[in-house]
Amino acid sequence: MAYDTSEGRLGEEFFTPGSASFTEFLAAHRPGQLPTRSPLPDGVRAAPGTAPHGTTVLALTYRDGVLIAGDRRATMGNLIAQRDLEKVHPADDHTAVAFAGTVGLALDMAKLYQVELTHFEKIEGAPMSLSAKATRLSAMLRQNLGQAMQGLAVVPLLAGYEAGRGRIFGFDVAGGTYEKTGFHAEGSGSPYARGALKKLYRPGLSRREAALAALQALWDAADDDSATGGPDIGRRIFPIVSVITEDGFERLPEPETEELSRTMVEQRNVRPDGPNATV
């Protein structure tokens, strides 16, 4: 950003009337600093397997709010690029975003989204509604459409707490927004995770029951999708599980996540295909 060092003042763009969107501010004055700018020339597509790719993320509503979780693996083609990637991030006090897709772009987009929500609240004096937050994230994805068409796609999952309940929003690479009921998953392992949640989910789950259902779903995803990693007991790397309730965003402490993961693994030792659905 421009800063007049001779007079110790901010540039004129900081005093020009505009919208409350920090992303639009960057687009107008410093477009090169947007993570959605394309690093590739027009017509050039990224070769498969040349950028780390992250999956799988999921969310489900439960008795006190909404839970959002993700595995830790990033792959680059047939290689494991990272074993402890963090795919779930708080966006503000009552909202979290998780990303599947190109890791570098996803992490930059998550940071920009955090600033976007903070900037809006400071300018307007009130936080956005959850639906408005989903719309803002959708607009950022549309800005990234060119890169997505070049093979550098990012697909987010948004979860938040508002008006006494948890809500979940899914997106496509073109910025389409879809509110989901109960649960949803994104990433290459998402078909298997959604299948598991369809079997295990029910309204009114406790926090522990919801966390175990999420871990079971991630296990099923890892069982059939090589890009998804399960709990790594030896390295003590476990999925990230976070909840959003009336009290705000909370990432489950590592000891709690470890205990839940070990409980789930013990259950799988007894029933390798996972628990039966409640009928």
Q: What are the residue numbers of the active site?
A: 55
Query: How many other CB atoms are found less than 10 A from the CB of residue 183?
Result: 24
Which DSSP string corresponds to 50-78? SS-EE--EEEEEETTEEEEEE---EEETT
Nearest alpha carbon to residue 104 among 71, 76, 135: 76
- The single-letter code of the amino acid at 24 is E
**Six-digit token string for 269:** 């030792």
Query: Counting Cβ atoms within 10 Å, is residue 229 exposed (0-12), middle (13-18) or buried (19+)?
Result: buried
**Six-digit token string for 173:** 């690479």
Distance CA 110, CA 137 (A): 9
Contact criterion met (CB below 8 Å) for 162 and 179: no
Backbone angles phi, psi at 146, to 5 degrees: -60, -45
